[in-house]
Amino acid sequence: MKNIYDYSLEQLTEYFASIKQKPFRAKQVFSWLYQKDARSFDDMSDLSKDLRNQLKVEFSLDVLKIKEKQVSRDGTIKYLFELLDGSLIESVLMIHDYGKSLCVTSQIGCNMKCTFCASGLLRKQRDLTPGEIVAQIIKVQQDIDQRVSHVVVMGTGEPFDNYDNVMEFVRIINHPHGLAIGARHITISTCGLIKGIKRYSEEGIQTNLAISLHAANDEIRDELMPINKVHPMDDLREAISEYIDKTNRRVTFEYIMLKGVNDDIVYARQLAHYLRGLNAYVNLIPYNSVDEHGYQPSDKETVEIFKNELLRLHINVTLRKEHGRDIDGACGQLRAKRSGVK
Ligand code: SAH
């Protein structure tokens, strides 16, 4: 059975041509899927019964099951989904004053082996298809009966290690006949795969880029993120600088504050030096402890000092508000538990 959400409007149009149907059928189906909230092909009342039956045989639009749902005191909702093949993935919905933001998963497991992250507790089993990422948004919208306005590809997985599927996903949700989520409301977060950053520079799309930096020098970054041994920080900086030149977009640098590891004021100065001249801002992230890894979140005062030093050095910085700390909010935590790794 094919996942209907894997199809772009162009691909659906080709499909309808191949079964000798009018091309505008594709637009009709797209609008049922993304604007009129169809839950089954039978809902698509402007298609003939025969056509609906034919679609039912070939396509599924029920590709995710909610296995578990945790609601945090701050309104954050964490979903554990089961895919058609039985795999488990997570999505996290965060409520902001500017809208509802969904953090989606892009791979089952992850191969990047960052030492502080729960996702890597399970090696990558496979990439998600575009439609499996799209369906995370659809399912959540149906569950809360409201629109998701912002999407961050920051769940389990490395999006640039699944580049084509992730970009196809972005085009489907950004399409005016699709979910029509504005490009500026879509962010892809990478641990720094340079080939991906280069390709992303060429997409000609106004989506955002976030870089998981988490350290201000190669020595510490090597320790936290093995990818740094392949792409050291100088190379990464060059790729990001080219990205900014080409796209004119501001880049977010994520920096998890880890007690006694990367939170000394000296590193704030190194970080400021690294970012000098880049159109960038830093998002300091409170660490969600993962029992296996032994890292601790930095103290509030240490974070304040670090932040103020960046401000003093004229680096734009925000402190990420914590969401869902009481519900295993960090990437892969719930899934790892339910899969028996934790
Ligand atoms: N692979 C991509 C996207 C997934 S990780 C990337 O590296 O950006 C999404 C973000 O969550 C990254 O910045 C990651 O470093 C961070 N993260 C992972 N584990 C965390 C934890 N336990 N607490 C806080 N942030 C975490």
Terminal Cα distance for the chain, rounded? 33
Same domain? For 169 and 38 the reply is no
Closest residue by CA, ligand 1 atom 1 = 158
CA of 273 to the centre of ligand 1 (A): 23
- Residue in 90, 132, 168, 309 annotated catalytic: 90
Q: How many domains in the chain?
A: 2
Q: What does the block give as tokens for 243?
A: 């990205």
pLDDT at 131: 98
Last residue of a domain, one of 24, 40, 60: 60
- Both 305 and 202 in one domain: the answer is yes
**CA–CA separation, 70 and 58 (whole Å):** 34
Together in a domain, 229 and 97: yes
Query: Which pLDDT belongs to residue 342?
Result: 39
Q: What is the pLDDT of residue 294?
A: 87
Annotated binding site for [4Fe-4S] cluster: 110, 114, 117
pTM of the model: 0.95
- 244 near 275, Cβ under 8 Å? no
10 with 68, same domain: the answer is: no
In this prediction, residue 293 carries a pLDDT of 73
What spacing in Å lies between the alpha carbon of 255 and ligand 1's midpoint? Answer: 9
Residues pairing with 90 in the sheet: 80
184 lies in the same domain as 285: yes
| Residue among 256, 248, 242 at smallest CA distance from 289 | 256
- Is residue 53 domain-shared with residue 124, that is, in the same domain? no
Residue where a domain stops, chosen among 60, 76, 98:
60
pLDDT on residue 333: 60
Q: Does residue 90 have an active-site annotation?
A: yes
Indicate if 10 belongs to the active site. no
* Residue 286 CA, closest ligand 1 atom number: 24
Task: Look at residues 15, 40, 60 and tell me which one is the last residue of a structural domain.
Answer: 60
* Same domain (yes/no): 241, 153: yes
| 8 Å CB contact between 32 and 38 | yes
In this structure, the answer to whether residues 283 and 148 fall within a common structural domain is yes
- Mean pLDDT in each 10-residue stretch from start to end of the chain (342 residues)? 96 96 95 95 96 96 95 93 96 94 96 88 92 98 97 96 98 96 98 98 97 98 98 98 97 97 98 97 92 87 98 95 67 59 42
Domain of 28, CATH number, reads 1.10.150.530
Q: Is 72 exposed, middle or buried (0-12, 13-18, 19+ CB in 10 A)?
A: buried
Do both 137 and 268 map to the same domain?
yes
Q: What letter does residue 116 receive in the DSSP assignment?
A: T
For residue 326, the domain's CATH number is 3.20.20.70
Distance 204 CA to ligand 1 centre (A): 26
Selecting among 103, 168, 309, 331, the annotated active-site residue is 331
Separation between Cα atoms, residue 24 and residue 12, nearest integer Å: 10
Residues 56 and 136 both lie in one domain: no
Contact indicator for 333, 118 with CB cutoff of 8 Å:
yes
Q: What is the pLDDT of residue 9?
A: 96
Based on the domain organization, do 73 and 38 belong to the same domain? no
Full domain range(s) for residue 41: 2-60
Q: Which of the listed residues 117, 123, 290 should we mutate to test ligand 1's pocket, taking the one with most ligand atoms within 8 A of CB?
A: 117
Are 55 and 69 part of one and the same domain? no
